[in-house]
Amino acid sequence: MLARATDDVQREYLRNNTNPLTIHAMCEDYRASASIDLEIDAADIKAGKKIQCPLLTLWAAAGAMGKLYDVLSIWTDEGVNVTGKGLPGNHSLQESAPAETLAEIQEFLRA
């Protein structure tokens, strides 16, 4: 079953990633996060602005983010109502830890 699920996921990635508009949008998102987003974030931090809505942050505890950063602390500095935790899995939590990811999102949405 796992192999089939992986095959289904890979087919869906292929279906989406053969559309040039999808690839363009993905590149624009990465470009913005490495350029203008940093400038906007710096201005917000300097102005003392914080994210006001409830914010859930999830990351792979054993992955790069979990090893290199105190992820929850970073986001707590950015928002006023921040929760989250590291989960088992890798970069794509929705694939590598789907049950745990879904449970955290459902709990967050119930609050």
Residues 6+ apart with CB under 8 A from 94: 101
What is the pTM (predicted TM-score) of this model?
0.77
Radius of gyration of the chain from Cα atoms? Answer: 17
The reported pLDDT for the residue numbered 3 is 53
Give the domain ranges of the chain.
1-49, 50-111
pLDDT along the chain (111 residues), means of 10: 65 87 93 94 94 97 93 94 95 90 97 82
How does pLDDT run across 4-16, given as a tens digit for each residue?
556 887 888 888 8
Q: State phi, psi for 49 to the nearest 5 degrees.
A: -80, 140
Say if residues 111 and 54 touch (Cβ distance below 8 Å): yes
Please tell me whether residue 45 adopts helix, strand or coil conformation. helix
